[in-house]
Structure formats: structure tokens, C-alpha cells
Chains A and B, each alone.
Chain A
Amino acid sequence: MAVLTKELKKDLLKTIIKIRRFEEKTIQLYQIAKIWGYLHPYIGEEAIAAGACAAISKSDYIISTHRGHGHSIAKGADLNRMMAELLGKATGYCKGRGGSMHIADTELGMLGANGIVGGGIPISVGAGFSCKMEGKGRVAVCFFSDGATNNGVFHEALNMAAIFSLPVIYLCENNMYAISMCSDDAIACRDVAKRSAAYDIPGVIVDGTDPEAVYNIVSKAVQRARSGKGPSLIEAKTYRFGGHHPNDPAEYRDKSEAEYYKKEKDPVVNYKAKLLEEKVISPEEIDGYEKEIIQMVEQSVKFAEESPEPSLEQFLEEVRSI
């Protein structure tokens, strides 16, 4: 079982900060229309991607969602290519064709963000079959949020993964809302984890704002998956700090509720404090991380802005050949 070394803790913090600063920048760029279409920030939920991706290795797979930047970053994506994709540039992960909702990279084992809620969940079953057939102990972590669990595909996929003992970790990021609908109103049993009973697989709840808790629980599920015992369902309780997208004022939820989470449950603030208290890290080191990351993010914007647009001629050529 993996242990939380000092180094690992620092890495978790770095990842969380990286996701936060990247997302803050994307919102700024969205507001000045350099990024367009749909943008779904992951702010408030960073600890889940960080903890989960730290618990798997580079060769493992992840399946992501429309709110997927954090997953990519935690899996080791290059910020330059991510930002370039968000700006629709030829150097982006999808050559500018996909934008925020479709970032994917074979080398990273990142099997795709998705514009269809729940769209990735059945795909995880295929990744699971592939891991199992290959027989090298590879696993897949399938991210989705509360809303996705109300679509039929969720049930089909978890049932199938269970009967075939597939090495997939189902990781629900329950941020309490699916656009405007509160998960307590949408999910009959309220806790997504309880649904595991229907598939006879482990179902656990974890504090999704605590990266170490996520890391520990995912590690356990990964171990189970690698040893051929099949899938697990983990429900990480979290909160979407902003609206569904940058232009959503989130009028459907209580202001005080959002204030509470921002004040008490901010993974960046809390994890910094925890590591300082444990003397794992010094304030100077944290400042160093912040500076380094802000520079990386700025660099990614520069890279994206200086990158070429995809070629229109080439696009038309390709279309003609289909």
C-alpha cells in the first residue's frame, strides 16, 4: 500500500495549486472571449483529481468529464498544449478541434473529457476490458459527477464492470449540483456511494476536499482492481465554488452555502495550512510553488497566443477526403 511521503504530500499540494491557478486564468480568458464555447471550471474540486491521479501510475487510464481540466493536469498534461486547445490553436491537444470539453491524450492515458454527461462511463468498461485482457495490472479511473449517475448508462456500466470484475475505479465527484439541480433532489438515495449495493461492489464516501483522504481511498480501490477483484465506487463529496460556467450566477443555490464551502472547505487554503502545520513545507517553499506555477500558467497563455491557428486549407482538404 502506497504511503504518503513528504514528497508525495508536496506533489499533491503542487497539483492542487496548479489546477487552481490554471482555472483562474481560463476564467479570465473566457471573460475577454479568448476562450469561448463552454468552460466548466474545476475550482473547489482540485483535491479529487490530485489525490486520485497520485494513486495511479502514468500507464493507467483516466476517463474525464466536461469539467475535466483538473483531471488532465493531475495526470500530467502539458499546460501549454491545454491552453492552446482552449484558444483553439493547432498546437492544442486536439489541434483546436475540441476545446475545453474534449481534451484527450493517448500518451497520458487520458481517454477524453466529454461533452455528454455520463458519456465516458460506458467507455470506462471498454478500457477496463482492455486492461484486463492485457493482463499487466493496468487500471482505469473513471471520473464523473453526481448528475451523471442519473443517466441509464451509469447503471449499465457499473453492473457490467462488476459482473466481469473489471479493474475500474468509479470516482464520483459529488459537487452537489448538476447545473441547477441539487443532487439531494435528483438522487433518490442521496449518497451515490449507496448505489454500489446494486452492483455488489464496495461503495465509500470520502471528503473530496482532502487530497490525502482521496489518495488513500483511491489507492485501496486501485489495489483491489489490480489484484483482479473488480471495480469500486467512491463518492468524493465536494463543492463547485463557482456557477456551472463562468456566466452562471448560480441563483438556484443559497449564497451562504457557497460562502461556507469557500471559507471552510477550500482545498488550496486547507492543504497549505495542513502541510505548514505538519512542517512538511515552509511558507517560502509555498511561495516558490506559487511563483513557479503562475509563471507556468502565464507561459501557457503566451505559448497559446503565439501558436498558429489550425489551417483552414488543410481542414477543407480533410473534409473533402472523408
Chain B
Amino acid sequence: MREIEYREAIREAIIEEMNRDSKIFLIGEDIGKYGGAFRAYKGLLDMYGPERVINTPISEATIVGAGIGAAVTGYRPVSELMFIDFTTLAMDQIVNQAAKIRYMTGDNLRCPLVIRTQGGAGRGVAAQHSQSLEAWFYHVPGLKVVMPSTPYDVKGLLKTSIRDDNVVIFIEHKMIYLNKGVVPEEEYTIPFGVADIKREGSDVTIFTYSNMVFKSLEAAKELESEGISCEIIDPRTLVPLDEEALLNSVKKTNHLVIVTEACERGSVASDISAKVTSKAFDLLDAPVKIVAGLNTPIPYNSTLEQASIPHKADIVKAVKEVLGK
């Protein structure tokens, strides 16, 4: 099977969708000739012209607002915010406008808008370019939150996001754009709210998403050599969340470790831990363990930067603790 890079999978999804539906357009900073900060839009300006690949000034609030305005008038925009850290500049448009517009207008205004962005640490770009802010969007009613880890997932989910009639916050991770993975030539989409079992196992469930899927897979490999079998559940979409897949896995393993790069306080991880604990307390043989980023702005120094996010060793340790080993 064909393997392609994560960013190529994004590009393919965009091309397939733009060819299918002329109402789709792209808007954001440096997405023209430059092809986007991570080059996911390389060549798209030449293919679709400046009316469908709209290169904007540094105006985040209006990149999102323009997306909303076009969406409620019949188009299907994909607004790009170069870093999730810059969603802060567009928060009124995202939280007060986009998230609520369909509900509060009694379904009068539909807003099929995708907001593509990326986050995460690991590149030495310090406190204002390395955050994991998915919890903010997860918290706000009216937003769907998608965080694909693999090229296969990013392609299928981006297509679904573009076709969805609601606002989707589509969060990539800056460390995985060059990761390669199997992506079929033939067309496919991936439905929202369907988790993917990235590895089957029987002793412990590791619930994780985005770049932490890969660190968890490394940990699972190491643990396997010690006779511990991990099941890795990647929800792929945080909203809607596939609770059933998670609970089914916990039913089998009776142990749960949640791994996230974001800091724990007020996180998606702690919310999921609370859900499982209240809905399936009887299934758990031990308290849920969360492996999370440290509660700190991300430092520049690379030793400190690395220390502020989870690694294989942290996951291995947590799994052993949860199993009492």
C-alpha cells in the first residue's frame, strides 16, 4: 500500500474536496505561493487561483470571521490559523460567534466552517508557539474538535470536516507533518465520533490522541517485551467523543491510562477520567492515571522543553503503576 506524509494527506483531502465542491475555499496567512507554514497547501494557489486560495494579512479574527460570514451565505471555507497559539486573537469569532451562531439563530444560520490549526511542543519555539489548547475548544458547546494522529486519519477526517454543516476545530501537531503512513488511493472518509484502536491489547487501556499516540505506541512496544499488553485507543475526534469504544476497552482491561501533551489542570484528559470514573467505576481495578504535560509555559531550552511533555518512559511508568507492578 502507498505511504504518504501527513501534510500530503492534508493536501490530497483539500484537493479532492475542492474538486468535488466549488463552494469550498481556503483562507489564511501565507497560504498562497508560500504554501502554508508547513507547506500543506503547496501548489494549491496555481491550481485554484487567488479566489479560492485567499492569502490574507495577519488578521486572525477576520480570517475566522470571514469564514463565518462566507459559511452562513452558502460557502464552505477552510480558515487557517498558523498556530493554535494564535486562536487567541480570534476567540470572539470562534467562541461567541461561530460556536453559537447556528443554535442561537434557531437554525437560521448554518455555519459549515473548518478552522485548521496546529499545536504542540518539540521544536524549540517556546511559550507562544508550542501550546496544546484543545481543552478550550472541547469546553465550548457548539464546536467539534478533531485531532488526527496519522496520515490516514487526517485525510479522512479533513474530508468529513469539510462536509460537516457545523464548525470544526481541526488541530494538527507540528511534529508529525513529515510522518509517513498508509493512505489508500481510493476515496474514503472517516466518520466523527469513531475511535480507532491503534493497538489491541488486554492488560491496560491507553487512551491518547495526536502526537502522544506515537509515544504511547513506543511505550506499548517496550511493555510488551515485559509481558504487559496495552490497548491503545485513539478517539481521533474529541468532540464528538467515542465513549463506547473507550468503555468497551476498559471493560476488557479494567485499567486506564490517559496520555496527553496538554497540562492536566482543566484538561480533556481529566474530563475523560471523570467520565470513566463516574460511569464505569466498577470496571476499574485501579484509579485512572493521567500522563500529561507539566503545568508550565513551554520553555525554550530543549532539556526543559522535553521535560515539560510526556515521553515513553513516563507512559511505561504510569502503566506499571496502574497495574501495581
* B140 at the A interface (CB under 8 A): no
Q: Which of B114-135 contact A (CB under 8 A)?
A: 123-129
Task: Check B32–A315 contact: CB distance below 8 A.
Answer: no
CB of B89 to closest CB in A, whole Å:
7
CB-defined contacts of A153 to chain B, threshold 8 Å: 89
Task: Check A181–B57 contact: CB distance below 8 A.
Answer: yes
* B299 at the A interface (CB under 8 A): yes
Which of B58-66, B196-204, B242-250, B276-284 forms part of the interface with chain A?
Answer: B58-66
Task: Check A88–B57 contact: CB distance below 8 A.
Answer: no
Task: Check A151–B60 contact: CB distance below 8 A.
Answer: yes
Which of A96-104, A129-137, A157-165 forms part of the interface with chain B?
Answer: A96-104
Task: Check A252–B127 contact: CB distance below 8 A.
Answer: no
Task: Tell which of A38, A116, A178, A318 has the most Cβ of chain B within 10 Å.
Answer: A116
Q: How far is the CA of A28 from the CA of B25 in the complex (A)?
A: 40
Task: Check A180–B32 contact: CB distance below 8 A.
Answer: yes
Task: Check B301–A310 contact: CB distance below 8 A.
Answer: yes
* A1 at the B interface (CB under 8 A): no
CB of B239 to closest CB in A, whole Å:
27
Q: A38-B125, A38-B129, A150-B59 are in contact. Are A315 and B307 (CB under 8 A)?
A: yes
Q: How far is the CA of A187 from the CA of B57 in the complex (A)?
A: 8
CB-defined contacts of A178 to chain B, threshold 8 Å: 29, 57-58
Task: Check B124–A37 contact: CB distance below 8 A.
Answer: yes
Task: Check B58–A102 contact: CB distance below 8 A.
Answer: no
CB-defined contacts of A150 to chain B, threshold 8 Å: 57-59
Contact with A along B37-58 (1 / 0, CB 8 A): 1000000000000000001111
Contact of A312 among B62, B297, B300, B304 (CB under 8 A): B304
Task: Check B125–A151 contact: CB distance below 8 A.
Answer: no
Task: Check A88–B302 contact: CB distance below 8 A.
Answer: yes
Q: Which of B270-302 contact A (CB under 8 A)?
A: 294-297, 299-302
CB of A177 to closest CB in B, whole Å:
10
CB of A172 to closest CB in B, whole Å:
13
CB of A34 to closest CB in B, whole Å:
11
9 A-B contact pairs sorted by A residue (CB < 8 Å): A96-B299, A96-B304, A98-B300, A99-B300, A116-B86, A116-B128, A150-B57, A179-B34, A319-B295
Q: Which of A63-122 contact B (CB under 8 A)?
A: 88-89, 94, 96-99, 101-102, 114-119
Contact of A97 among B30, B125, B295, B299 (CB under 8 A): B299
Task: Check B86–A181 contact: CB distance below 8 A.
Answer: no
CB of B43 to closest CB in A, whole Å:
13
Task: Tell which of B62, B85, B302, B308 has the most Cβ of chain A within 10 Å.
Answer: B302
CB-CB nearest in chain B for A116: B128
Q: How far is the CA of A207 from the CA of B32 in the complex (A)?
A: 30
Task: Check A36–B302 contact: CB distance below 8 A.
Answer: yes
Task: Tell which of A89, A98, A153 has the most Cβ of chain B within 10 Å.
Answer: A98
Task: Check A179–B300 contact: CB distance below 8 A.
Answer: no
Contact with B along A298-310 (1 / 0, CB 8 A): 0000000000011
CB of A137 to closest CB in B, whole Å:
33
Q: How far is the CA of A269 from the CA of B324 in the complex (A)?
A: 70
CB-defined contacts of A118 to chain B, threshold 8 Å: 58
Binding site for A on B (CB under 8 A): 29-30, 32-34, 37, 55-62, 85-86, 88-89, 123-129, 294-297, 299-304, 307-308
Q: A151-B89, A322-B296 are in contact. Are A98 and B30 (CB under 8 A)?
A: no
Task: Check A181–B55 contact: CB distance below 8 A.
Answer: yes
Task: Check B300–A97 contact: CB distance below 8 A.
Answer: yes
Q: How far is the CA of A89 from the CA of B191 in the complex (A)?
A: 47
Q: How far is the CA of A115 from the CA of B301 in the complex (A)?
A: 16
Task: Check B307–A312 contact: CB distance below 8 A.
Answer: yes
Q: How far is the CA of A94 from the CA of B128 in the complex (A)?
A: 14
Task: Check B33–A102 contact: CB distance below 8 A.
Answer: no
CB-CB nearest in chain A for B55: A181
Contact with B along A249-278 (1 / 0, CB 8 A): 001100000000000000000000000000
Q: How far is the CA of A216 from the CA of B169 in the complex (A)?
A: 49
Q: Which 3 A-B pairs rank lowest in CB-CB distance, beginning with the nearest?
A: A99-B300, A37-B124, A115-B128
CB-CB nearest in chain A for B126: A99
Task: Check A97–B294 contact: CB distance below 8 A.
Answer: no
CB-defined contacts of B128 to chain A, threshold 8 Å: 101-102, 114-116, 119
Task: Check A102–B126 contact: CB distance below 8 A.
Answer: yes
* A32 at the B interface (CB under 8 A): no
Q: Which of A176-203 contact B (CB under 8 A)?
A: 178-181, 185-187
Q: How far is the CA of A206 from the CA of B226 in the complex (A)?
A: 69
A37-B300, A96-B301 given; name 12 further pairs at CB < 8 Å.
Answer: A37-B124, A88-B301, A97-B304, A99-B124, A99-B301, A101-B125, A102-B300, A116-B128, A151-B60, A181-B55, A310-B299, A315-B296
Task: Check A179–B30 contact: CB distance below 8 A.
Answer: yes
Q: A101-B126, A179-B29 are in contact. Are A147 and B301 (CB under 8 A)?
A: no
Contact of A116 among B85, B302, B307, B308 (CB under 8 A): B85
CB-defined contacts of A181 to chain B, threshold 8 Å: 29-30, 32, 55-57
Q: How far is the CA of A153 from the CA of B34 in the complex (A)?
A: 25
CB-defined contacts of B123 to chain A, threshold 8 Å: 36-37
Q: How far is the CA of A287 from the CA of B32 in the complex (A)?
A: 45
Q: How far is the CA of A121 from the CA of B127 in the complex (A)?
A: 19
Task: Check B126–A36 contact: CB distance below 8 A.
Answer: no
Task: Check A251–B301 contact: CB distance below 8 A.
Answer: no
CB-CB nearest in chain B for A150: B57
* A148 at the B interface (CB under 8 A): yes
CB of B108 to closest CB in A, whole Å:
27
Task: Check A36–B295 contact: CB distance below 8 A.
Answer: no
